[in-house]
Amino acid sequence: MGDVAARFAEIVGEHNLLSGAQVGEDYARDESLTCEPRKPAYVAKPGAAEEVAALLKTAAEHGIPVTARGSGSGLSGAARPREDGLLVSFERMHAVLEIDADNQVAVVQPGVTLTELDEQTAAAGLAYTVYPGELSASVGGNVGTNAGGMRAVKYGVTRNNVVGLQAVLPTGEIIRTGGKTSKISTGYDLTQLIIGSEGTLALATEVIVKLHPRLAHSATLLAPFNDLDQVVRAVPKVISGGLEPNILEYIDNLTMAAISYNEKLSLGIPDEVRDATQAYLVVGLENRDGDRLDGDVERAGELLGELGATDVYVLDGGSARKLIEAREKAFWTAKSSGADDVIDVVVPRSEMPGFLAKVRELATAAESGAIGCGHAGDGNVHLAIFCKDPEKRHRLLHDIFAAGMAAGGAISGEHGIGQAKKDHYVELEDPAKLELLKRIKQAFDPRGILNPGVLFD
């Protein structure tokens, strides 16, 4: 063990420092389909902010790159460490420190998983309403990627639900940002700057998240449409109808077939309806009051009919849960179907029809496949890309990203840029913005130790 390793081990305790052959495969990767696994030189599992600070100081002294890892469920390779680097795994820091019902916030350690947090908030009648598809993800990882998920259409993404942080700067200081209050006008908002920075600016060691009352009544509607364009055109109308859906997803017919098959999902849709369907809209509604919910379900049904749905199914609890779970597993379905990449371009929701038409055109021209589903309420289009040739795929992705940006959107709505999409980002982003981002990075991290090679070089 070298000098540095000895120092790291001293900081976190010997059992919590892995190096060489002790480093398991899992630490070499996240769930990105395109980033090759790469084992780090060291894995440290700190137990407290002070240990994280000491690790970063030591790393800075020795010029060792540092990558933070939550649960490694990210889809952009942002938690994939450097070969010569230190991976800081937050797996031991997973306590829910406080559930504060009066201020409707929880204070948690970054390694807590969404499943763990959900269990503990449920006991208090509250909920942390950011539900990305993978609930083994950690809150720290969510902060890293600004995670979204299905409920974002009603509750917003991580950015809208985190009000404060304790964070360690790459220069070794421990700072606190924000607090148990949702408004502050006192200096630049460091909470917001750190959220979505993919572990490149600071490491979160405590997170204050907003909680909402857990509503007792919910319903899920499934509406088949004969035309994908009609589905996405319906989306703005459902939103402006004022029903405040907490889920508004589209699923194209191929994706529905694949997830139904993989997850043995049977929704009782007659064959003739299914065969004529090009895409589905899934609408989730919830209310604290059962009667109000019933009223909303009725209105939503009427509205969907007016908007061109060929039928509307109100799913029973079991089927609804299964459909949502299957939808959440769409990534695994895509992966097992041999998808070569999975992306999540975001566009203004009114631009989805045009954007999807453009995607079809580009994919056809590239003799490739692009099928998908997405958080339609947010204009977040998740596409599984089938295109084996790396160069051809790079060009196709480039064109799809450029089309999304031209429509007023961005390369990623919630998965982030990481290492997987960095080349595209650097090619397509406004150079003036990129330079500014680099100067901000420099302001936080003069030695450049935090996640080098993520976002930009």
Ligand X SMILES: Cc1cc2nc3c(=O)[nH]c(=O)nc-3n(C[C@H](O)[C@H](O)[C@H](O)COP(=O)(O)OP(=O)(O)OC[C@H]3O[C@@H](n4cnc5c(N)ncnc54)[C@H](O)[C@@H]3O)c2cc1C
Map the footprint of its own copies across residues 87-126, applying CB under 8 A.
100-105
Minimum CB distance to its own copies, residue 4 (Å):
25
User: By CB under 8 A, which span of 24-32, 112-120, 152-160, 249-257 interacts with its own copies?
Assistant: 152-160
- Restricted to residues 372-401, the positions that interact with its own copies (CB under 8 A) are 375, 378-380
Q: Which does 75 bind (CB under 5 to 8 A by kind): ligand X, its own copies, none?
A: ligand X
Residue 203 touches which member of its own copies, ligand X, none, C-beta under 5-8 Å by kind: ligand X
Nearer to ligand X, 301 or 404 (CB): 404
Q: Considering beta carbons, is residue 101 or 184 the nearer one to ligand X?
A: 184
Return the number of the residue (252 or 344) whose C-beta is nearest its own copies: 344
Residue whose CB is less far from ligand X, 67 or 260: 67
- Smallest separation (angstroms) from its own copies to the CB of 76: 9
Out of 110, 170, 372, 377, the only residue in the binding site for ligand X (CB under 6 A) is: 110
Helices 228-240 and 352-365 pack at an angle, to 10 degrees, of 160
For residues 45 and 375, which CB has a smaller minimum distance to its own copies in the complex?
375
Q: How far is the CB of 403 from its own copies (least distance, A)?
A: 14
Selected binder of ligand X within 46, 132, 409, 452 (CB under 6 A): 132
Give the residue from 114, 85, 123 showing the smallest Cα distance to 8: 85
267 binds, among ligand X, its own copies, none (CB under 5 to 8 A by kind): none
Which one of its own copies, ligand X, none interacts with residue 127, CB within 5 to 8 A by kind? none
Which of 65, 85, 149, 379 touches ligand X (CB under 6 A)?
A: 149
Does residue 142 touch ligand X according to CB under 6 A?
Answer: yes
Q: Which does 110 bind (CB under 5 to 8 A by kind): ligand X, its own copies, none?
A: ligand X
Taking CB under 6 A as the criterion, the residue among 46, 65, 85, 144 binding ligand X is 144
Q: In the range 367-426, which residues lie near ligand X by CB under 6 A? A: 414-415
452 makes contact with ligand X (CB under 6 A): no
Could you say whether residue 341 binds ligand X (CB under 6 A)? no
3 state SS for the chain: CCHHHHHHHHHHCHHHEEEHHHCCHHHHCCCCCCCCCCCCCEEECCCCHHHHHHHHHHHHHHCCCEEEECCCCCCCCCCCCCCCCEEEEHHHCCCEEEEECCCCEEEECCCCEHHHHHHHHHCCCEECCCCCCCCCCEHHHHHHHCCCCCCHHHHCCHHHHEEEEEEECCCCCEEEEECCCCCCCCCCCHHHHHCCCCCCCCEEEEEEEECEECCCEEEEEEEEECCHHHHHHHHHHHHHCCCCCCEEEEEEHHHHHHHHHHCCCCCCCCHHHHHHCCEEEEEEEEECCHHHHHHHHHHHHHHHHHCCCCCCEEECHHHHHHHHHHHHCHHHHHHHCCCCEEEEEECCHHHHHHHHHHHHHHHHHCCCEEEEEEEHHHCEEEEEEECCCHHHHHHHHHHHHHHHHHCCCECCCCCCCCCCCHHHHHHHCCHHHHHHHHHHHHHHCCCCCECCCCCCC
10 Å Cβ neighbour count for 356? 24
Rounded to an integer, what distance in angstroms lies between the CA atom of residue 418 and that of residue 423?
10
Site for its own copies in 175-214 (CB under 8 A): 175-177, 179-190, 192-193, 195-197, 201, 213
Complex with ligand X: residue 351 or 378, whichever CB lies closer: 378
Does position 266 bind its own copies by CB under 8 A? no
Instruction: Give yes or no for residue 340 binding ligand X (CB under 6 A).
Output: no
Q: How far is the CB of 147 from ligand X (least distance, A)?
A: 3
Interface positions with ligand X (CB under 6 A): 30-31, 67-75, 78-79, 90, 110, 132-134, 137-138, 140-145, 147-149, 198-199, 203-204, 328-329, 331-332, 414-415, 451
